[in-house]
Structure 1
Amino acid sequence: MAIQVLSFFTGAGLLDLGMHEAGFDVVWRNEYHLPFVQGFKYGFAKMHDASIDDFPVCTSSIENLTPYSIRNEAFSGKVWPSFFGVIGGPPCPDFSVAGSNKGSSGDNGKLTGLYFDQIIGLQPTFFVFENVKGILSNLKHRKYLTEQLYKISKDYAFDIKVMNSLDVGVAQDRERVIVVGFHKSYLHDVLGITELKELGLRNRLLLSKQLHPNIYKQHNWFNWPSIYKFENAKTNFEWPTTNAFGVKDIVCPDNLPPELCVGNYLKGLENIENQNEFFTPKSSKFLSVEEGDVSRKSFKRLHRWRYSPTAAYGNNEVHLHPMLPRRLSVREAMRIQTIPDNYSLPREMTLSNKFKTIGNGVPVKLANHIAQEIYRFFDCPSPKLGS
C-alpha cells in the first residue's frame, strides 16, 4: 500500500503531482483560495479522466484546523496509519526579495509557523517544507525559520538545502529552500541510537548557528537529488546572452543540455488546452525588448536557447515569448513548470489566477525527484553521517 500524504497549501497541486508520480498517495488536501481549488480539481480530473468530485479539498483556513478534524477528514475517523507524511509550501511573498519582506509579521509569513504547529499536532512520519530562498538568506527570516525548526526538533531530525530546479533538469532558474524531516521514533527503529544521536547533534549545531549557510551546507545527511549532467548548470555552460528580437534562425550553441533550453518546451503546443490563453499585448515593449533580456523587473523576454528566470507571474512580472510579440501563454508557463500536458486549467478561471497558481507551485519534476529520495529513504534508509 502506498504511503499516505496530507497536503497543505495545495494550490494547483504541483507538489502533490510530484509525490504521486513517486508512488505516494495524497489522501487529503487543504487550500483556502477558492480559484486555486477550482483549478486543482479541474486539472486532476482531466488527468485522471474523472469527476472533480473525486478530488475533495478542505477549504478551511489552516488557522481553524485541528489534528482531530484533519484526522476525521483524511482517515475517516480511524486510527492513524503507521506511516504518513505532511507536505506544504506556505505562501512566500513575506519572505521574498520581490515581496513585502514582512516576514513572520505578515499575513502570509505567519502561515509558516502554523504549518509547523500542524506538524507538531499531527506527528507525521515525515514532512516536506518548501519556501523561497529569502527565508534563509535574510537574517530576520532565517531567525524565524530557526525558531520553527527548534519547535519540532524534540520529535524530528531534519535536513535543509537550497535547491535550484536547474540542477535536476528543469529549464528554470528557481532556487527554493527545502526542509525534509523524519520522526525520531521511526529513525530510532531503522538507524539505532548512535546514528540518531549524531543526527540530533547536527540539528542542534544548525539551530545554534541559526541555520547559517556556511554551516548547514556542511551537515547535509539526506540524499538530496542531484543529476551530474545538470549540476551547477548556470556556471558550467556558456549560455547565450541577448539577440535582437525577431531573428528567425538562431542556432543553439553546442554542448548545451536541451532539457534546460526553453525553446524546446515551446514546440508542438498547437492542439493542447490552454495554449491560446494569454494577455493581449498592448505595450510597445513587446516589440522592443531583445530576446534574452531579463534585466528588468518586468517585461523579461526569454531566450529560446537558455533557461527561464523563476516562473513568478504575479506582482506585475511579465515574461515574454522568445520569438513572438506577446506574453507566455498559460500552457507555455505550465511547460516551464514541467506540468504534464494532460493537466489543464478551466476556461472560466481568470488568466490572473491561472498564472498565479502556476507560478506559486513547485516544478513537478523537482518535487518528484525529492519525493523519490524520500521513498528510497523508507525503502533503505542510509543517511550520510560521514564528514
Structure 2
Amino acid sequence: MDNKIVNTNNPIPVLSFFTGGGFMDMGFIQAGFNVVWTNEIEPAFAKFYEEGITSWKKKYKLLSKGQKCSISNTNSIKDIPSNTILSQAFGKEIPTLFGIIGGPPCQDFSINGNLEGFKGERGSLTDTYLCRILDLNPSFFIMENVTGLMRVKKNAKHFLELLEIMSEEYLIDWETLNSLEFGVPQSRERIFVVGLNRKHFDLSSITANLNNKWFPFHSKRKYTNPHKQYKWPEAIAFGTKNIEKPQNIPLQLCLASCLVSKDDEFIIPNANEYFNLLGKANQFAKIKEGETNRPSFKRLHRYKYSPTACYGNNEVHLHPYQHRRLSVREALRIQGVDDSYVLTTPNLLSKKFKMIGNGVPVPLAKAVAETLKEFIVKLI
C-alpha cells in the first residue's frame, strides 16, 4: 500500500470529529493536511489512537523524540462549546483556512444495525455534527457515513433536508464510494459529503451538471468497476491446497495481500491477537473458503476481496485456510492501515475489532483528501 506522506510548508489545518483510531486522519495527513484537533468519546478508542498514531508518526518522522499523540478532547460533541474547540485547536488566532472531517456513528442507519435512523442516539449525532460545522464556520468539511443514510426513505428525506440547510452556507456535493475501487481489498460502500464555504471561496468558476454534481470524487480511483471487471474465484472446500491466484486479478485487491503467515504470527505486532473459535474444528471445516453469503462466520477467499469489515456488530470473518478468525493485524491491513500502526494495550479484542471496523479505509480517505486539496488549491 502507498503510505507516502506529502510534504508541504503550509499544511491546511483540520479538526477531526469522531476520530476513533484515526484512520481518516491518517489519509488526510498523507495528503498533506495537518490534523490539529481530535475528538473521541470512547476511552478504549482514544487509547488505541494514542498508541497507533504515535507509532505510525514515529516511523515517518512526524514527531520529535519523546512526543506522543493523544486525543485533544474526549467529551461528547454535544457537550463541547464551539469556542472551546477553536481555543484548543488554534489558541487565540483562528486561521482563515481550515477544515472539519468526521464520520458520525452510523449504527442507527446501517442495515446491520437497528435502523432507528436520525431518531436514534447515534443517528442524532449526524444532526449535531452538521450543526456544529455551521457554528464553527470552517472553510470546508467532509462527512462520511453508511449508505443506509439514503436507502431508507425517511432517513434519506431528513438527510437531504439537512444538506439543503447546509447549502445556504456551503456548496454541497455527495457521492457513494466503494473502497475496492481505491485499491483496498474490501468491498465497502460509504457516502462522502463535501462542502465548501460560500463566503471563504470564490465558487463562481465551479460548474455543476444537471444533478448538481461538481466534485470529482472518482478522480483518484485506481480501478473502475472491479466487481465486474475481474472474474473472481468461486467458493472452494476449506483446506484446498495449491491454489493459484487468477492472473488478471491484482494482488492488491485480494485478501492474500493482508494475511500473516504462521511463521510471522509472533513477529509482526498484533498478528497473534485473534479470537479462538469455540466449537469443534470439523464444524467450521464445512464452511467453504469464499463462502461469504452468510449472516456471520463468513470464510473469506484468499484471492478475493473481503466484505465490509464490520467487526463488533456480530459479524465474524474466518481465515481462508487456517482454523481461526482473522487477527487484529489482518483486519488493520484490510482497512489499509500500515504495519507501523501498533496497538500495545493487551486484550480488549472486542474493542480493537470494533474500532477497526468503524474506521474509514486509509487509502480511500487519502484519495478523497488529495482530491479535496487539489480542488482547494485551485480556488485560493
* TM-score, shorter chain, exceeding 0.5: yes
Q: Answer whether contact 1:113 1:148 (CA < 8 A) is retained.
A: yes
Offset of residue 220 of structure 1:
2.0
Alpha-carbon deviation of 1:349? 4.9
1:308 aligns with 2:322: no
Q: Residues of 2 paired with 1:128 and 1:170: CA distance?
A: 20
Give CA deviations for 1:25-68 in whole Å, capped at 9, x if unaligned.
00000101111000000111212336575434300111111211
SS at match of 1:43: helix
* 1:275-327 alpha-carbon deviations (Å, 9 max, x no partner): 00000111344322100000111000110010000011112100001110110
Contact 2:173 2:194 in 1 (8 A): yes
Residue of structure 1 equivalent to 2:248: 255
Rounded to whole Å, the distance in 2 between the matches of 1:224 and 1:251 is 35
- Aligned counterparts of 2:163 and 2:222: Cα–Cα separation in 1: 33
Match 1:33 to one of 36, 42, 64 = 42
Distance 2:307 2:187 in 1: 5
- CA contact 2:260–2:271 (8 Å) conserved in 1: no
Q: For 1:69 and 1:151, how far apart are their aligned partners in 2? A: 25
Distance (Å, rounded) in 2 between the aligned partners of 1:110 and 1:362? 20
1:22 to 21, 28, 31: 31
Does residue 299 of the first structure (1) align with residue 297 of the second (2)? yes
Determine if the alignment matches structure 1 residue 61 to structure 2 residue 57: no
The structure with the greater share of residues assigned to helix is 1
Q: What amino acid is the match of 1:276?
A: N
Could you tell me how far apart the structure 2 residues matched to 1:13 and 1:156 are?
26
CA contact (8 A) 1:338 1:363 kept: yes
d(CA) in 2 for partners of 1:61, 1:349:
26
Distance (Å, rounded) in 2 between the aligned partners of 1:56 and 1:357: 15
What's 2:193 paired with?
Answer: 179
SS at match of 1:93: coil
Partner of 1:164: 178
Partner SS, residue 86 of structure 1: strand
The percentage of aligned residue pairs carrying the same residue is: 43
- Cα separation, partners in 2 of 1:47 and 1:186, compared to 1, 3 Å: same
Contact 1:286 1:320 in 2 (8 A): no
Deviates more, 1:223-232 or 1:60-69: 223-232
Q: 1:39 to 1:381 in 2, by over 3 A?
A: same
The aligned residue for residue 237 of structure 2 is: 244
Matched-pair contact (CA < 8 Å) for 1:43–1:343 = yes
SS at match of 1:28: strand
**Counterpart check, 1:87 vs 2:80:** no
SS in 2 for 1:279: coil
- Counterpart among 112, 116, 120 of residue 106 in structure 1: 120
Give the 3-state SS of the residue equivalent to 1:141 in structure 2. Answer: helix
Once the 2 structures are TM-superposed, how far is the Cα of residue 229 of structure 1 from its aligned partner? 5.0
> For the Cα contact (< 8 Å) 1:172–1:308, is it kept in 2?
yes
Give the alignment's TM-score, normalised by structure 1.
0.89
- 1:119 alignment partner, one of 120, 133, 136: 133
Letter in 1 for 2:84: S
What is the match of residue 274 of structure 2? 278
Q: Which segments of 5 or more consecutive residues in structure 2 lack a partner in the other structure?
A: 1-9, 59-64
1:140 to 141, 145, 154: 154
CA distance in 2, matches of 1:346, 1:147: 43
- 1:366-377 aligned at under 5 Å gives the runs 366-377=364-375
**Could you tell me how far apart the structure 1 residues matched to 2:66 and 2:347 are?**
18
Quick check: 1:39–1:349 contact (8 Å CA) kept in 2?
A: no
User: What is the TM-score normalised by the length of structure 2?
Assistant: 0.91
Structure 1: distance between partners of 2:121 and 2:36: 27
Write out per-residue CA displacement over residues 85-120 of structure 1, whole angstroms, 9 at most, x where no aligned residue. Answer: 000000001000110000011010000000001100
Q: Is the 8 A contact 2:53 2:69 kept in 1?
A: no
Distance 1:349 1:30, change over 3 A: farther
Q: What letter is aligned with 1:6?
A: L
Return the alpha-carbon distance in structure 2 between the equivalents of residues 185 and 137 of structure 1.
Answer: 32
Question: Which residue of 193, 207, 219 corresponds with 2:212?
Answer: 219
Count of aligned pairs between the two proteins: 360
In the alignment, which residue of structure 2 is the partner of 1:385? none
Query: C-alpha separation between the residues in 1 aligned to 2:164 and 2:175?
Result: 17
